[in-house]
Chains A and B, each alone.
Chain A
Amino acid sequence: MKQNVARAVPLLALGLLLLSFPAQAHGLNAAWHALVSQNPEMKAAAMEQTPETELLSIFPVVDEPEAAPALPSPQELASVSAAGIPLFPVVEIADNPGDAGKAVLIRWMLFETSPVKLRGKESVPDTGTFNGWALTKGEDGYKAQREDRTQWSVKILRAQLGVDGLPGPFVEIEEVLVGGAVHKEEIRFNKDTKNVFWPDRNLRYNTPGERMARNRFWQEHVDADVGDGASYAYRLAVTDGERIAYCYRSMPIQTGLNRYEYKRSYKFGPASPAVNLIPADPSAMSDFKSRLMASFAPPTEITARDNPSDSGGAILIEWLPSADDLDVEIRSAEQKRTHPNPVTSYRIFRAETRNGSAGDYILIGSKSAGLDKNEREAQRFETIKKKNYIDDGAGRMRRDPETGEKYVPQYSYLVTASDGVLLSLGQPSTPAGARTQWFDFDKLYFFIVAFIISAAIIWFIQHIKAGKKLFIRKIAGLEAVDEAIGRATEMGRPILFIPGIMDMNDVQTVSAVIILGRIAKTIAEYDTKLMVPTSKSLVMTTGRETVKEAYLAAGRPDAYNDDIVTYLTDEQFGYVAGVNGIMVREKPATCLFLGAFFAESLILAETGNSIGAIQIAGTAMPSQLPFFIAACDYTLIGEELFAASAYLSNDPHQLGSLKGQDVGKLIAIIAILSGAVLATVAQLSSSVTMQKIFAFFENMFSAI
């Protein structure tokens, strides 16, 4: 009865696991709806202060600063007027996810400015209309409704980048109609003053034929008419047929193969700013500022310097967060709900500077607002609240093509606070360049520990040579090797040796081949058949050399032939199929799985189990150990695989290395105990000194 219960329990658990799949799907669905219900009104409370600067269209319109060849038709542009276009797109362009390349995803959200003119401090009448909007009074604000009969459309233009990185002529690839919609918006106002505070400056422009609720305001177009691996720039334009306004061009985007289908939920993240390229020209910059400036404060004290302890190519950018970034302080969930953070992220732009002047600022990355875990950790003992970003795309030392002189490219950085749409610009940093260092001081403690362990191993190897005898504990799996070989000999069946599926650059495979040499010698002495199918050509050639030497050492060179070690295939499951076939056909009495294994470990071990072979496995892949333990008779766990060659050889040089490893274990034990004691004391006591000591200790080993 007890045995039956013990058997039934795992089956029951397995059944429950299968039953739970629909529930897990339900859970995902719930999470989906939770995301959908995110309310954009969260910014309302932070919008009390509205800037006096009127937000115009983001477009540079017809007199935009790009060179004429970049536009589709200068003649056409000259004949149209951009005056009064009230819409502007916020654009996000990315390699289309989940495809095999050859597609770019362009999505945009339209904003409306001038027709509505909703600005702070502007009172709302109790009823009736407001700037062309029909108002319906509600509890917290007004519902506004307006019908726009203008037939707007968004034009998408594309240019391929040349080898010089500059875009060629922009060509129109798509025109999407967006106008003629009935607009519904909620306008919120202060109950006492009746001043509008949401939205403070502009409205999202609802498009007809709204898609799924989660994608209500976004429109998208997949440009599948692009080459694989090529780079493109895009720009969008809004037109009503007579007037047209162009957006700045996007950053270059490259198509490519996406190995995995991304979850489309990434679209819930904040959108990139409308402009990914900030012009370096000061007048254009001021124009840009006037058009994109948000109501919240910009980041300050932006500095850039060479990222320390690296091989060059990286610059560390630091800045003080925006004064409006509320999440730099620890806040409760209630506070976050009632006073949402107006700043959601920081956008980092880079411009290369030559001869003292900066080029265009290109968006290179972003960092979320507030403090992340590491930054909070750093604030435990010091009040520095600087945020940082490492730009690892900076150029290394290069040679000037004209003068032939070597120089380190210099870069200026601009950090902006963003609410996902609008930007608040700080002052650009002074230029900085990336250099290569001689020593990585971040790994100093790692170096010290590695040096001590290495020195101990070498010392013990020498020590053993002097004739000292050391105690080496028995390893059951290795003790059983002779027994397993003897069993195969008695049964007249072959021995199968699998050296893992990695190549000779993996130390586990090297260990496996070394063990193969030791075992092959015994097998040759017993005159038993050995089979070593490999999945890598280099392993095959190395294995052949090793086995040949072993047979020679055993005095049986005649018993050796190249067919002992064979090559099957590099492909993981093709190799598994081949080995399983050998097992089923040849029915080896002993199977040895030693080396690096992945998902195939259990398939191999269970097949070996089904043919009744005695099985010895050994791997340093922690995730595969449980499978081998469950399905094999003996398992060499982690370090035992590396110790096996020394153990089997009984060579004093090799045994000394085992003793040296014990010194490493001693260091690990001392570190673990010290860490546990320090963490406990630091937690229990309020002593800042103790906490600092623990932080230092933690930092020391986190680098390892």
Chain B
Amino acid sequence: MLRRTLPLLITFAVGFVLVISKFIPKVETLGEDFSIYFDIIAVFAFILGGGNLVKIHGNKIYRRSEGWGYSLVCIIGFFATLTIGLFKFGNPLGWTGNVVAEGSAFKGIYDFIFKPLGATMFALLAFYVASASYRAFRAKNAEATVLLIAAFVILLGRTFIGKMVSFWVPIDQAGPDIPSFAEWIMNVPNLAGQRAIMIGIALGIVSTSLKLILGIERSYLGADTE
């Protein structure tokens, strides 16, 4: 009973307070408190996540599974960062200093290892945009052709070439040139489509939230087969 009813009651109470806190300023702080409770719970759950990471990669190393060397690097990186962060190695202010203080080893790991690695992954996006655009902009049918033309106009309009090739409008004057057409595409058809999607999303969120608050949807509790 407790396994299913108690979570449902908590969901109802918290969900209800969060909804009314939007309209009743007196309980606004209570709503903020509930959001903070989530953060506290998430911190405890992080131990589970870390434990899972160690368990999976530890097993791989123990069994010498394929690619166990990568798991070893992962485990060494995990514990090295954890130790350096916990014991504040190289922190100019010692134990009392901020864990990310300038000059600390932890900050060094972040700045010189973590950030470049993250940026490298992010940089891949530029190439993936090119390959995805190449496939998406092929004029296979009428809809794809419209997409191609719109994309081409926007690409032109967002560069100086757009103004230069708009020979029908003098270069130093405003008028119906390609950049303004690109702006129109972004502000009218594109925005209209986005707003329609956003209205649908908002309604979907309301519906899903109601189902969760009222306990109609409970499969996320693992109680679907009750």
Q: Enumerate chain A interface residues (CB-CB to B < 8 A).
A: 3, 6-7, 9-11, 13-14, 16-17, 19-20, 23-24, 27, 100, 102, 228, 309-312, 436-440, 443, 446-447, 450, 453-454, 457-458, 461, 503, 505, 507, 510-511, 513-514, 517-518, 536-538, 540-542, 545-546, 548-550, 552-553, 562-563, 566-574, 576-577, 581, 585, 599, 602-603, 605-606, 620, 622, 625, 627, 629-631, 637-643, 645, 649, 653-654, 657-658, 660-661, 664-665, 668
Contact = CB atoms under 8 A, between A and B. Distances in A.
Nearest to A573: B121
Q: Which of B56, B117, B219 has the most CB of A within 10 A?
A: B219
A653 to B, nearest CB: 5
Contacts of A458: 210, 214
Contacts of B206: 450, 453-454, 457, 661, 664
A468 to B, nearest CB: 17
A578 B47 CA distance: 19
Given A9-B137, A309-B25, A566 B161 contact: no
B83 interface: no
A702 to B, nearest CB: 14
B156 interface: yes
B129 A602 contact: yes
A661 B23 CA distance: 22
Nearest to B129: A602
B25 A440 contact: yes
B124 interface: yes
A572 B125 CA distance: 13
Contact of A645 (B148, B159, B198, B217): B217
Given A7-B138, A450-B206, A602-B128, A311 B26 contact: yes
B127 to A, nearest CB: 9
A620 B205 CA distance: 9
Given A458-B214, A549-B225, A514 B25 contact: no
A599 B122 contact: yes
| Chain B interface helix/strand/loop/mixed | helix
B81 to A, nearest CB: 11
B160 A20 contact: yes
A447 B25 CA distance: 13
Contact of B221 (A19, A312, A439, A545): A545
A541 B48 contact: yes
Contact of B201 (A569, A638, A660): A638
B160 A24 contact: yes
A376 B60 CA distance: 67
A654 B211 contact: yes
Interface in B34-48: 35, 38, 41-42, 45-48
Given A436-B25, A440-B24, A450-B206, A668 B48 contact: no
Interface string B13-55: 0000000001111101100000100100110011111101100
B199 interface: yes
Contacts, number: 243
B60 to A, nearest CB: 11
26 contacts: A7-B134, A13-B152, A17-B159, A23-B160, A311-B25, A311-B26, A437-B26, A440-B22, A453-B206, A454-B206, A458-B210, A511-B208, A514-B219, A537-B45, A538-B45, A546-B219, A552-B225, A605-B132, A625-B197, A630-B133, A637-B200, A641-B204, A643-B204, A645-B219, A657-B210, A668-B199
Given A457-B206, A620-B201, A638-B198, A657 B216 contact: yes
A316 to B, nearest CB: 15
Given A507-B209, A553-B225, 17 more contacts: A6-B148, A10-B148, A11-B134, A14-B133, A100-B102, A440-B23, A450-B206, A458-B214, A503-B42, A510-B208, A513-B220, A537-B50, A540-B48, A548-B222, A639-B201, A657-B211, A658-B207
Contacts of B121: 573-574, 576-577, 603
B155 A549 contact: no
A563 B56 contact: yes
Contacts of A653: 211, 216
Contacts of A602: 125, 128-129, 132
B220 A517 contact: yes
Contacts of B187: none
Contacts of B25: 309-312, 436-440
Contacts of A567: 48-50, 52-53
A537 B148 contact: no
Given A16-B156, A645-B217, A599 B125 contact: yes
A510 B161 CA distance: 46
A537 B54 CA distance: 13
B224 interface: yes
A438 B217 CA distance: 31
A10 B48 contact: no
A625 B219 CA distance: 27
B131 interface: yes
Nearest to A227: B93
Contacts of A581: 70
B151 interface: yes
A631 B132 contact: yes
A642 B204 contact: yes
Contacts of B216: 461, 653-654, 657
B217 A566 contact: no
Contacts of B176: none
Contacts of A585: 67
Nearest to A517: B219
A620 B47 CA distance: 29
Nearest to A621: B201
Q: Which of A439, A514, A568, A574 has the most CB of B within 10 A?
A: A514
Contact of B207 (A542, A637, A642): A642
B223 interface: yes
A549 B222 contact: yes
B82 interface: no
B118 interface: yes
A88 B214 CA distance: 67
B23 A439 contact: yes
Contacts of A537: 42, 45-50, 52
A638 B199 CA distance: 9
**Which are the 10 A-B pairs with shortest beta-carbon distances?**
A642-B204, A537-B49, A20-B159, A639-B200, A545-B222, A311-B25, A573-B121, A23-B160, A639-B204, A630-B136
A505 B212 CA distance: 12
B135 interface: yes
B202 to A, nearest CB: 8
A447 B23 contact: yes
A390 B147 CA distance: 45
